[in-house]
A and B are shown apart, each in its own frame.
Chain A
């Protein structure tokens, strides 16, 4: 059981399974993973689970609110996808149940976007594509103001979620659906958008000796052109467009994240493709540059709820060139009776060898909250943030 006063950095935590009869007091672990281009996932582990609830829980709406404090709450809403149980006869009963442990695995609100379709979208911008799905599922959204028009997008045997992620990926954008808010963003624009930041403290930092949110337990980094987490390269694109013209475009012409001095790449790959236009080629290049980072890391820290994909984490006091801003790709929040730990996957294209870009963003618009209507999660109010 997770007590409100169990340990110093215990977060605010409120788990609601709508229609579920197992009391929250039997919850032993809550594990939430937020990752770009993936459904949000929450796993609720129960100590003791009544047999009658195992099948009846599938499909139930779930809401989990958590945060370091009341002013910093993250809202997970979704549905129970499946229940995994363990019943070991040798272990007797737990909380009066022969099923000693049950993991209730929930997918975020984007789970509704799973059915497969075979359709196509003609002459649409990314904003129009996002709007189609937001209206269909009654979500709010934020999307970059990119006027590039896809002449055709193919959704052959793909779910709406796959289609959305794929369309955004063609422009180098990432997607998240937290709560009932679709957020489309360019990882290179994280610095300019003014999103909440997370500071990660080392022992060298004066705050590192205190037990507080963001203190680093473990930091594992990978630096180089080719690492276990992928490779970082430059690109030269060549294409034939619809006018019969051959075009060339290089990744040097593509922007950087603005987080410092971009690391030069050792290799330059030559990519050849068909495109509709030169603009098409420029957009296509971003899907390559936004997937290659010369610096990646995994940081395990004392739980910090502000850390979410697409936002920035500031690593400080390693007295290194990698101190500075990193983009969060994935945030996993694990809460149990003993601790709250956040594990972050981080990436960046730059060292702190140069100053930050001057035009840092501000004016972040928090997404609307969610409401349940006919057992489906929907946005409480419409928000179309084209930025």
Chain B
């Protein structure tokens, strides 16, 4: 039940197709007020817009270190 997994489910709390910014909450890791930026590593614009998930969507995120300095969304589905 309580794990130290570096792969977790998260809720998108902010996303912007123009800038590519995505912010997520990870309820299994952090208190509700903690919002983390999603890394731009491995993402790119498609047809002039950034594919981002809509706010409120549940996504799967991963990190490459226990500090959560880089948070990645696995399998971002284009919304346009």
Interface of A toward B, CB cutoff 8 Å: 117-120, 122, 150-154, 156-157, 242, 244, 273-274, 276
Contacts and interface: CB of A to CB of B under 8 A. Distances in A.
Contacts, number: 41
**What's the dominant secondary structure at chain B's contact region?**
loop
B70 A154 contact: no
B65 interface: yes
A274 B31 contact: no
Given A156-B29, A242-B41, A119 B34 contact: yes
B36 interface: yes
B14 to A, nearest CB: 14
B2 to A, nearest CB: 8
Contact of B68 (A154, A157, A244, A273): A154
| Interface range for B | 10 to 19
Interface of B: 2, 29-31, 33-34, 36-37, 39, 41, 64-70
Given A152-B68, A157-B2, 12 more contacts: A118-B29, A118-B30, A118-B31, A119-B30, A119-B31, A120-B36, A150-B67, A150-B69, A152-B67, A154-B68, A273-B65, A274-B65
10 contacts: A118-B31, A118-B34, A119-B33, A120-B30, A122-B37, A152-B67, A157-B2, A242-B70, A244-B41, A274-B64
Contact of B69 (A117, A118, A152, A156): A152
Nearest to A243: B41
A274 B29 contact: no
B31 A154 contact: no
B29 A276 contact: no
**What's the dominant secondary structure at chain A's contact region?**
strand
Contacts of A150: 67, 69
Contacts of A276: 69-70
A330 B65 CA distance: 31
B51 to A, nearest CB: 20
B6 to A, nearest CB: 11
A154 B64 contact: no
Q: Which of A119, A151, A152 has the most CB of B within 10 A?
A: A152
A120 B34 contact: yes
A244 B31 CA distance: 31
B36 to A, nearest CB: 7
B22 to A, nearest CB: 15
A152 B29 CA distance: 14
